[in-house]
Amino acid sequence: MCPSEESTLSQVEAIVYLVISPNSGPEYRLFTEEEILAVGGVHAVERKLESDSYWLVRLGVIKGKLERNGLTFDNAAFARLPEPSQKAWKTGRLNPAFGKSEVEKVAFKTAFDAIERMIPGSDPRLER
C-alpha cells in the first residue's frame, strides 16, 4: 500500500450548493450526509441557507476523500458540476425582494447584476 492510500480513510459524498450572500459573496457550501442528518435533513439545510442568502441553488453531489488531515475535494469535481439554470435559483430571505412580486425580484436582480459588473473579479457565470 502506498503512503497516499494509507492516508485516505474513505470516500465521502457531499451535496453542493452555490450561495450568493451579502455577508460572504458567492461561495460553494458543502454538506455531507452526516451533517445533513445532524441538522434535521435537506429541508433544514436549505432553510438555513435561505435564511442567510440573496439566492441559492443546489448544484449536485461530488465525491471527496476523508483523510487524516480532513475532508478534501478535487477541483475537477467542482468543474464537473452543472451550470445552474435561471429557474433553479431560489430567492433567499436576505434578498430585499423575498416574498415580493416577480417585478420586484427582477428589479433587485437587475440592480444587483449592474453593481456586480462594476466590481473587479466578479464571476459572470453566476446567473440567477
56 inside domain: yes
22 inside domain: yes
CB atoms inside a 10 Å sphere around CB 128? 20
| Between 77 and 124, the higher pLDDT residue | 77
Which amino acid makes up residue 72?
T
Question: What digits encode the pLDDT tens for the residues 32-89?
Answer: 999 999 999 999 999 999 999 999 999 999 999 988 888 899 999 999 999 999 899 9
CA distance 128 to 126: 6
Which amino acid makes up residue 111?
A
CA distance 13 to 107: 37
10 Å CB burial of residue 12 (0-12, 13-18, 19+) is middle
DSSP letter at 95 equals: S
95 inside domain: yes
9 inside domain: yes
CA distance 38 to 15: 14
Total domain count, the chain: 1
CA distance 113 to 128: 9
| Residue 123 confidence (pLDDT) above 60 | no
pTM of the model: 0.81
Domain with 113 in it? 3-118
